[in-house]
Structures are given as C-alpha cells and as structure tokens.
Amino acid sequence: MSKTALITGILGQDGPYLAKLLLEKGYKVYGMIRRYSNPNFENLNYVGITNKVDYLEGDMTDESSIINIVKNIRPDEIYNLAAQSFVGSSWQQARLTAEINAIGVLSLLNAIKFFSPTTKFYQASTSEMFGIEHTSGYQDENTCFHPRSPYGVSKVYAYWITVNYRESYNLFTSNGILFNHESPIRGIQFVTRKITDGIARIKLGLAKDLHLGNMEPRRDWGFAGDYVEAMYLMLQQEKPDDYVVGTGENYSIKEFAEKAFGYAGISDWEKYVVIDPKYKRPAEVPNLKSRPEKAMKALGWKPKVSFDELVKMMVDADLERLSKK
C-alpha cells in the first residue's frame, strides 16, 4: 500500500516541489486548496505535476473544512505549508495572519488528535521567529525567539503548539525551522524574485528601474527544491523533533542584487535601483544565518544548490519567461 500525504499550501512555492518529491517516492498526494472556484496552478504546472495530485477544498481559517479533510482521508503524513507568508503584509493584516498561521495550526492538530492520531505532522516553522540580531552571529535549535513581525509572532505560536501537542498527546509532530529558500516559482513580491524579475524586465527594455527597500539585511538563502527533502526526512525519523534547515552562509540584499545584475551582464547596476521607503518595514530582521548541524547529522541532509547557482537559476528563468511573453 502506498503512503498518503496531505499538503496544505500546495499552490505556493514549496508545495509543488514537495508534492513532486512525494509522488516520485510513490505517495498518493492530496493538496488542500482554498479558492476552489479559481485555483492558480501555475507553480504546479511549472514542476509538471498538476494532474497527479488530488485536490481537496479547505481553508486554514475554517475549522470544519480541516476536520472533514483529516477525518475523511486520515493520511499517513500532513505537511502544513499553508500560511499568509509575506512578512511585509503581516503588519497590514495582523489578525488574519494570526488566524491562518497560528489558530489554523491548532485546528489541524486538533483534527489529528481526535480523528487521526497516527498521522505524522510537519509544521513549516521559520527563521523569522529568531528576529533580532544574535551575538553568536548564527541561529540554531537552542537560539531564543524574538520575532519582529506579526508574521513571526504567529509562527512562534504555531511552533510551540506543535511542540505542546507532541508532549501532551504523544503525537508525531515536528517543526522544520527553515531559513529563506527561493526558486523560479518564488512569489513575485519576495525580494529575490522581485530582483530577478526586475532585472529581466530592465534587460529586455520592459522597465527602467527597480524599487527596493532596505538593502542591508542579510539572509541565509537556499534552493526550495533542496529544502523539501529535509521536510520529508523529518517525518521519516523514528521520533518527532525540531530542526534548523539552512545553508550556514548569508548575504545582504545588496550582495544578492549585485550578483544577479552582474549575471545578467549589467555592471552599473546601482543606477537602476531606487530606494523606496514604501518597502521598508516597521521592524527589521537584520541578520539570519543558520547553524544546520543537527539536520545534517540526524537527517543526513545538506543543500545541493549553491548561492551562485540559485541566483543564476532565478535570473535565467525570469529572462526566459519574459522573453517568451
């Protein structure tokens, strides 16, 4: 009998990569989608698996839809990727962010507890929970949380309720504390994709400049396709646990932009960038850098795509996409 998995947030960036991996491993994959009338399959089309997934209608803010799905399919594994994941919007929609990212996770865990207690659960936790600058210069499983956005705060609740249900009810629930990961199907407003899309537009004469906010923060950027392997591995362990997943390297937004422009053959890149206060955040996360030793040792995981390869992959994909149009 093949294993079954439910992926929430399947239409986002990580969902398609994870679904592809699980399908390759012989899983039957269910994907929860909220806009059943008009779903956007673009990212699933990109990885070529749109017709291989079974779709179920549900919303993280609608507990009855979550209960119905879990009760009906009782999957072996649930990967909870659904979220209002854009940090910038979380100040504008703080309550909705909390309802989806925090209370939605509680609904999923209750559905598992009451209707499918053998289901293994993966929670998409985040380096954004670490927030402020840490004197050690890196973050790992022992680093304190000090979130700096309503998004980060909502994810801290989700992290701890995942731990609490493990400790209270002996459920198999694991947190992957993932650092930033990107790809050609990254949402267009996240800074890496905004930069690579903007560069392609400038290169092809479709735009004159690129508006960005704070160029100083540093991020530990990896490739999404590598990170979904860590998610899968966490649920194959004998015991549930929490793991930091990242590359251990970081770069500033400025360094990313410089490399991406350079790769596209534009050396005088600074003249195209307009610093726009609209994109600055009320509170910033200055420096994220992982120490992923635990994941590397316990899961045998390591990133395969380097920073340079990632930048190249994203610039190439946006140039190709816009050239076709």
User: Applying CB under 6 A, which residues contact ligand GDD?
Assistant: 85, 87-88, 126-128, 179-180, 189-191, 194, 212-214, 217, 219, 253, 279, 281, 284-285, 288
Q: Which amino acid is at 305?
A: V
- Interface residue with ligand NAP, options 5, 7, 11, 53 (CB under 6 A): 11
How many other CB atoms are found less than 10 A from the CB of residue 37?
5
Q: Does 65 bind ligand NAP (CB under 6 A)?
A: no
Which residue's C-beta sits nearest to ligand NAP? 12
Q: What angle do CA 136, 175, 160 make, to 5 degrees?
A: 85
Quote the radius of gyration of the chain (alpha carbons, Å). 19
Nearer to ligand GDD, 27 or 221 (CB): 221
222 strand-pairing partners: 181
Q: Does 147 bind ligand NAP (CB under 6 A)?
A: no
The shares of helix, strand and coil residues in the chain, as percent rounded to the nearest 5, are 45, 15, 40
Burial of 204 (0-12, 13-18, 19+ CB in 10 A): middle
We find the least distance from the C-beta atom of residue 288 to ligand GDD, in angstroms, to be: 6
Beta carbons of 212 and 195 less than 8 angstroms apart: yes
321 strand-pairing partners: none
Nearer to ligand NAP, 181 or 203 (CB): 181
Q: For residue 115, give the 3-state DSSP assignment.
A: helix
State phi, psi for 11 to the nearest 5 degrees: -85, -5
Burial of 302 (0-12, 13-18, 19+ CB in 10 A): middle
Does 229 participate in catalysis according to the annotation?
A: no
We find the least distance from the C-beta atom of residue 126 to ligand NAP, in angstroms, to be: 4
- Contact partner, 191, from ligand NAP, ligand GDD, none, Cβ < 5-8 Å per class: ligand GDD
Q: Does 180 bind ligand NAP (CB under 6 A)?
A: yes
Nearer to ligand NAP, 35 or 304 (CB): 35
Q: What angle do CA 207, 211, 215 make, to 5 degrees?
A: 135
- The CA distance from 87 to 129, in Å, is 11
Does 79 participate in catalysis according to the annotation?
A: no
We find the least distance from the C-beta atom of residue 115 to ligand NAP, in angstroms, to be: 19
* Segment holding 219, helix H or strand E: strand 218-219
Q: Does 59 bind ligand NAP (CB under 6 A)?
A: yes
Q: Does 68 bind ligand NAP (CB under 6 A)?
A: no
Nearer to ligand NAP, 116 or 183 (CB): 183
Which tokens is 122 given?
């993966």
Q: Segment contacting ligand NAP (CB under 6 A): 113-121, 133-141, 179-187, 306-314?
A: 179-187
Q: Segment contacting ligand NAP (CB under 6 A): 79-87, 111-119, 138-146, 270-278?
A: 79-87
Q: Segment contacting ligand NAP (CB under 6 A): 180-188, 236-244, 254-262, 313-321?
A: 180-188
- Contact partner, 199, from ligand NAP, ligand GDD, none, Cβ < 5-8 Å per class: none
Q: Which residues are part of the catalytic machinery?
A: 126, 128, 151
Can you give the binding site for ligand NAP, defined by CB under 6 A? 8-9, 11-15, 34-35, 40, 59-61, 81-85, 100, 124, 126, 178, 180-181, 187
